[in-house]
Structure 1
């Protein structure tokens, strides 16, 4: 009836423990950013990511088997090609792992009540059924992102920023100081 949640690999559990210890010791946020944070894969060392990807893949399969009743709730097999899913799945998996380790059911109930439905809502909103089985759909907004980072668009935005900085809060341009 119920398939158990895939346990995080030893390296992921070690990262959780190191972060817990660092937080208890009062390590400043800047120092915490130096540690592997599995819910943010880009912060993890290659060694940790080597274990993180297969675990997230197992979690995606578990979520599909255990919670994806509607197609819009199913994580497509091409999830690693969707950066938003990589980010979302890592957070959801880490929340579920820590909630499952809690001494009382409250954290797991919150995961079911808030994290999972919010994940499914964002999944449906961002992907819908955009990647049916066996047919990956490339990023529809690729051209918009490319235009945003183009030299022309970047220059135009920076010109607007510069113009804003040259106007006082009252809407007047500051007078140049004598001798300038």
Structure 2
């Protein structure tokens, strides 16, 4: 056999080996991709509707922003409506904390003729499921004492809300 015949004889064997190797590599890659797909399918991130469901995200932001504005705004002559709003809009730990603090606030508001107005500047949903939501909220609070200039203070809160009876209720508030 001449060298050119030997080279032609090796070529088909080389192609078969390369094809077999390529087939094995593709099977391995396919198996790895299938494993990664299953791993991703079990991810808790898939339950987070915050980015995919804009209507639900807008609703929870609107409900929570409105609630924060109502429960953190009061006038010295009308703290009862603020307390009433808190009972409707807060639940769980947030309601207990609020009740403990608001008795003192009511007393000071009347004595100092203090008006507090709270506006949500920006709110973002970090996690949203069918039952609960977590938000990061930036707000401005304007405090006005009788006869003194108003002062504005910025605040940042982490808020957890739960869907109860078709309405979002705040269940936890943490200052950041």
Q: Give TM-score, length-normalised by structure 1.
A: 0.21
Question: Relative to total residues, which structure has the larger helix share, 1 or 2?
Answer: 1
Question: Relative to total residues, which structure has the larger strand share, 1 or 2?
Answer: 2
Q: Which has the larger radius of gyration?
A: 2
Q: Give TM-score, length-normalised by structure 2.
A: 0.22
